[in-house]
Chains A and B, each alone.
Chain A
Amino acid sequence: MSTRSKDEIAAAIARDIAATHPDGAYVNLGIGQPTLVADHLPPGSGVVLHTENGMLNMGPAAHGDDIDPDLINAGKVPVTELSGASYFHHADSFAMMRGGHLDVCVLGAFQVSAAGDLANWHTGAPGAIPAVGGAMDLAIGAKRVWVMMTLFDKQGAPKIVPECTYPLTGLGCIDRVYTDQGTFEVGAAGVRALELCGISAGELAARLAPLTPSVA
């Protein structure tokens, strides 16, 4: 049993977005790994990508002559414009996010708590320069906020935890966590594995203890 690659996780998220929103969804993909999801959206999914620096219907990354320094995404990567795009200023863009108009937002995370709290902006380490960007707005604003991360950190410690030990980004804001070792729901009912990949239910329970994940 092998774990899922980042591409496989991104494909799973893309599939679930398309399944949940058959008529198309408005989606924000956080900077870093979540941007991979765009590459896996099925043709005709009708998904419209939002970038918080003021654009809807963002296209793929720009290359060569298509690069325009005035057209970048939230990660400051040059991107392209799809047909039906629109531009708006930052207050309007964040009003859109904070007002609950995005269907799905996918974020990276350091930790997610069983109750759905998110920690993804700051390690709290001494000397670290804090930088939050739009993470707190996205965390509380989208209709569904999903996380894409590895289930364990480099030291092997679980990133789904009883309580976040890193500084919080938002309280009770996460619906679902896509990881290399499976997909999980978190929230009031605790942790529930929707599917496992590369880990047995027994090992999962042992490594996430004292959490007691249920397995669908």
Chain B
Amino acid sequence: MTHLASSSEITPEVVARHGLSPAEYERILQILGRAPNLVELGIFSVMWSEHCSYKSSRVHLRKFPTKGPRVLQGPGENAGVLDIGDGFAVVFKMESHNHPSFIEPYQGAATGVGGILRDVFTMGARPIASLDSLRFGRLDDPRQRHLVDGVVRGIGGYGNSFGCPTVGGETAFHPCYDGNILVNAFNLGLLRADRIFRAVAAGVGNPVIYVGSRTGRDGIHGATMASEEFSETSEEKRPTVQVGDPFTEKLLLEACLEVMKGDLIVGIQDMGAAGLTSSSLEMASRGGVGIEIDLSRVPLREEGMTPYEIMLSESQERMLIVARAGRERDVEAIFRKWDLQVEVVGRVTDDGLLRLLHAGKVVGEIPVKPLAEEAPVYERPMTRPAWQDEIQALDPDGIPVPEDLGRTLVDLIGSPGLASKAWVYRQYDSVVRSNTLEGPGGDAAVIRIKDTRKAIALSVDCNHRYCYLDPRLGAALAVAEAARNVSCAGALPLAITDCLNFGNPERPEIMWQFAECVEGIAEACRALDTPVVSGNVSFYNETKGRGIFPTPIVAMVGLIEDATAFAAPFFRSEGDLVALLGEAPGELGASEYLAALHGIERGRPAPLDWAREKAVQAACRAGIAARLFRSAHDCADGGFAVALAECCVGGPEAIIGAEVELPRGSRADALLFGEAPSRIIVSFDPSDRERAERIAREAGAPFEVIGRVGGDRLRIGDWIDLPIGEIRGAWREGLSRALREGG
């Protein structure tokens, strides 16, 4: 194999430039029994990058509960799959595209959406709902406003053209994201439970087929870029930016679904990060076989591309298929019909090697199994930060209660983080596919499943401040909030996917935050019986040594058995009674109120009582299923007062006031704006009061009627009394004003 031994080019510098440590390089030498050539080194480099190998996170992720009666596919495939009955299953996953979006917001976000869509339709599902979770820095910086604009356009530009509705998400701002924005895209698809496709190669001699767009020099080493900190030089190092082509993706979707209808293919995998490299290796590794690919047959967009470039290109809108021998023509005909590239580039072999040919020569040969199984796994050192105790200490006595609490409410609800996100989601098609029972604007999006009585409810959540102040509790609260949001739509929470965004894992403090957050999610998922079926880790969200707050984003998928019974998030009728499920203990720590109005990010989030949380959610679902509750909305950022105000002004049209009393007990600002979990505001017809009380009692949830819907003012005790129009104005305009004027 002399042709493979031309390794004089592999100097220690070249190894380092590929992000491989000397120890990792040693391991490569052992696996190959010789020095790699450049193509092979490139392949190891991307496969063993943090992004592809999960080498720092793997030991922790094992703690997640991943099984359950409905789980048809847990983590490890392109996306997780849940059985929803009636012969249907849903496929979903979330993924980050943080670094590319910072460099080129439109294309970065667009290709992020493209990537997650492919993950879902690779499994045979038609994508039916997208969510997007976004974090930006301070809006007084024009660069951030430009990023917001580009990211939102990019998500819309791709999703709208592709024809999958974007039905919800979250948008938050904090200085910790100034140098590292977060763009996490979620997608959910629908398929028949007995028609799941997997990314596996099998059947020696079966053809390996390349389909989709041509390969260009896009994003070479994107995966390694996503595994490094930003620095001054990353501007120069940047690869050709990937440009999304949603039209081709849409054709690819239709063609793939058509191919999957017949008995034509064995396995299929999208070419995501690390393109042809990871798709071929992962398929071979799952099938326990080898794959031989002739790179001369890969359709190229540019002339003179080398095997190295072809293997590492991250051009979008491509897939790799292992077809049944003899069915090549049928596969080709379908992709041609959709005007896509289709080329038999190789075949499945029995020697367990990934063998690459180019111009008649072998240009690379790697044993598949060791590359996957002997990939490095690190138990990185962890330390609880020295400052953790300090930031958890809070002395409320030093914080004055504002004189004008009405003014405080208006200021809070008009701040970009709490104001309406309509500016964002109005740029997304939320209705295409005719399933959107509840679009963006409420607690959870609700998507009906045609041909059944069912609907799916979706919510994506995370409070980054909670996670900074107490990573374990904060992450658990993210799961609890996502579940609560889904329960507010009347849905039973079933399972989650997550996207864990953190700083540099080589720093022990970051690794501690990560491990704590994973524990928190695991604990919450066990408590709520909602397994983790898929997920994604994004490390190195750090610029010049400054990391983001730990930001484990959680997306919950819930099921509504009878889609005709679900509640609106907003008050609907004058005269309805308002009740609080749960209690108002009045805790100030970690609140948006402290951060936004007093500039204090300290204390601890209010503790979670799982029994209470579950009881409150169960009562809410039962009240909705019994068609008692006309509205249900949880108390989250901004606490009780903000939630109540949203019930009044959040509806698409009519706005409606309310009058409520809160039991006194603690200081007024804590009662109004404290962020204790496990609370839901519901409304119902007065004649249903006793039934409502009974439902809450049976579920074991605290329940208190606190007031009544009606009028054109919002009154809370003798603290707040405001015309509803004033609140509405601040809430509606808050975000667009900040984007226009900054700050």
**Bound pair: A and B?**
no
* Interface residues of B, Cβ cutoff 8 Å to A: none
